[in-house]
Amino acid sequence: MSERLEDIAVKMVANGKGLLAADESTGTIKKRFDSINLESTETIRRDYREMLFRTEEAMTKCISGVILYEETLFQKAADGTPFVDIIRAADSIPGIKVDMGAKPQAFFPGETVTEGLDGLADRLKTYYDAGARFAKWRGVINIGDGLPTWGSIKADSQALARYAALCQQAGIVPIVEPEVLMDGEPGTHSIDRCAEVTEWVLRTVFTDLYDARVKLEGMILKPNMIIDGKNARKASVAEVAEKTVKVLKSTVPSAVPGIAFLSGGQSSEEATAHLSAMNSGYDLPWALTYSYGRALQDAALKAWGGKQENVAAGQRAFRHRAEMNTLAALGNWQQELEKAA
């Protein structure tokens, strides 16, 4: 294959750019649209994503790749241009979410395992032909009373490794996303408990990736930050940055070209501040950037509101959030805030 996995992975995390996660399932985007009293139809979903993908300044300067839902990968803009072509024209890389969601794991109450391995090899060929050059698979780990369990962590870790190997075989860079939930139930865990569980999860995942013969230079890690639960929020920006970097340095090999964080229930501003603090305060062996959905889109969704006359306002909001996160990926966000004050 003409494109090397290592080159694609490096481009995904290069120059302070990050990933736009626009891979919301039909059910998830309906919930987002419900928040602005907007019906979710294929045409409206297309119009919303076209607004984002045609925000030229944000896409060319800030966004290295876009994670798409299967519907969107094959969709065309209102003028008939395939979305994949619009994304490529901005020198951004089209990607695809390939998992089928987290489902209850038999005999593990309160825990899930992500499904979607059956038939994945054939689907990946189809996605590659459609233009996707990276993929994403999310495993979900909940912290609770007696949770997580080893059996649950191992099941999701092995699924992530099998998915990653299939992607690389198909010429597609895998984003490996083991998410320890901040907003899971009951969400009362401390930041130290998050650190303990995340370290356990990441050590397990990289062992399974090694066993599956996955090339670390041709993958991207998409982890949670080390943060206290949604109902126990106390940690400062500095503490989140310090503990996240410590866990990553103890678990993630330097051969991995980049780490693109999920926002995981944080506000847009929190996700930006935490990323910037890590990049400005620490010497890191990999690129640290963003792979945000809500943290990039929320303001744009509200400004747009489903109205054609608000497209420019929605694009301005998206561009602003993208620019702020690119500053954070370069470690310059706080400095720019102070200059503007």
Active site residues: 177, 222
Closest CA to 225 of 175, 187, 183, 261: 261
Please answer whether residues 69 and 25 qualify as being in contact, where contact means their C-beta atoms are separated by less than 8 angstroms.
yes
Q: Which residues pair with 290 in a beta bridge?
A: 261
What are the structure tokens assigned to 260, written together? 């693109």
Strand partners, 147: 144
Please report, as a single letter, which amino acid is at residue 8: I
For residues 278 and 242, is the Cβ–Cβ distance under 8 A? no
DSSP conformational letter for 61: H
Q: Closest Cα partner for 262 from 104, 94, 139?
A: 139
Sign of the CA dihedral with 15 first, then 267, 50, and 21 last: positive
Residue pair 268/299 in contact by the 8 Å Cβ criterion: yes
For residue 184, count other CB atoms closer than 10 A to its CB: 21
d(CA 272, CA 47): 27
CB atoms closer than 10 angstroms to residue 48: 24
Instruction: State whether residue 40 is helix, strand or coil.
Output: coil
